[in-house]
Structure 1
Amino acid sequence: MSPNALIPSHRKPRRSASSRALRAGVTGGFLTLAVTGATVPANAAQKPVSETQEMPTITTALATSAAKSADTAEQVAFNYERQALQDSAFSKAAKAAEKHKAEAVKKAKAEAKKKAEEARKAKEAAQARASRSSERSTLSASAPSSSSATGSSATLVSFLKAQLGKAYVLGSSGPSSYDCSGLTQAAFHQIGVDLPRVSQDQSTAGTQVGLDNLQVGDILYWGSSGSAYHVGVYVGGGKFIGAQNSSTGIVERPLSYDMPTGAVRVL
């Protein structure tokens, strides 16, 4: 027997060869790590040694919250973009409205100016008609009454016949020569009736009468009323006396020689 056989060893007992076991698990959304020793000293408590560490993990709630945040951000961006488009549309509409308003005002002013011009012309035309009516009234008032018309007509015809054979001179009103309206003016002046000087005005100086209802002393005219180019005086028997032209001078002719366009009566 060896002399050392009974000497006790002072070495610490070796741990079991069993290696530590690493255990992992997920519980309630946390990662759990556990390390357990296979052998413990004899004087240790009879309970497993456990080391546990909890780490946060991404849960469904977090994922949902993140998704909602993204949706909210996208909605906010969409709202801003929509508001910007609305503001742009409102601005364009306001500019278009201003333009239409300006055009409407311009058109209204033009219409008002046009109506004012038409009213002015109508007023002038009415005044011209009133002036002509006044002249006719003056002529009618100065004409002899019907009781003395026969005598006036006779005086008128007598004067006209006394002028037969005299010369026709444009612009002349006697006593040695006349033009057509100068002769009629001079003739009516003999009986106190003042006629306008030119044939255009003499054709509107009295009341229009038909050629089938002529009386002695009616003024005959050629051309249209208000723009006649020649006048003469009806002397009865289907005849008239007038200063015809420079070739014939003052002559008496039947109506058929040169049928007049119309007639006016001042007696």
Structure 2
Amino acid sequence: MLQSLARLYPPPRLLTRPGGLLPYESDGLTVFRARPRAVVLPESREEVIETVRLCHRAQIPFVARGSGTSLSGGALPHTDGIVIALNRLNRIIEVDPVDRIAVVEPGVINLDVSSAVASHGLYYAPDPSSQPVCTIGGNVAFNSGGAHCFKYGMTLNHVLGLEAVLPDGTVVTLGGRSLELTGPDLVGAYVGSEGLFGIALEITLRLLPQPECSRTVLAAYQSLEAAGDAVSHIVASGLLP
């Protein structure tokens, strides 16, 4: 298997020595660690697809990894497996300000999407606390939320479609570029599956208009019960903070 990977990747992008593997032994949940057999650093969708097909033929487990910010052990490798690190697939392929969509690769940083579309008066709403470093591919795998998910929803509510390579190497297209789709919600089944259904290669995101203004309000309460009641009254009034 390593010989096959060596034919696909030059030495700087195929890591097999302990020092190179060390950063990939865990994600943000560092209490659990495992050293993979190898780590590959693809720079194209074709390399990802071929790597998955090699793993399938050799019956070698693989784990896709973004920035490794998960606190649930989702990027924990298998000791006999391969880590496919997707950080170098970081292109924003398309921005369509009319249809309010962006098509991105899985290694694009969450906050970079909003930065790229800000000149069009748009932004990408899901904002996990690791927004400056986490990747869209990781957000899709975990259906990430954030401080504004109560108002705007989770990642699932902002993914219109995606192209993915399944664990056997088959490439599929799910969803599309519109909210008006018919048939089973395959995108909904994929988002949040934590890599079980393969690796996303391209992701079509829904963008929102930037708020006209924002205000921060600080309120103090005498008790937790009073604070909870205030939140309940705000939501009941029709406002979503």
TM-score tier, shorter chain, comes to under 0.3
TM-score for both structures, normalised by structure 1? 0.22
Higher RCO, Cα 8 Å, sep 6+ = 2
The structure with the greater share of residues assigned to helix is 1
TM-score normalised to structure 2 length? 0.24
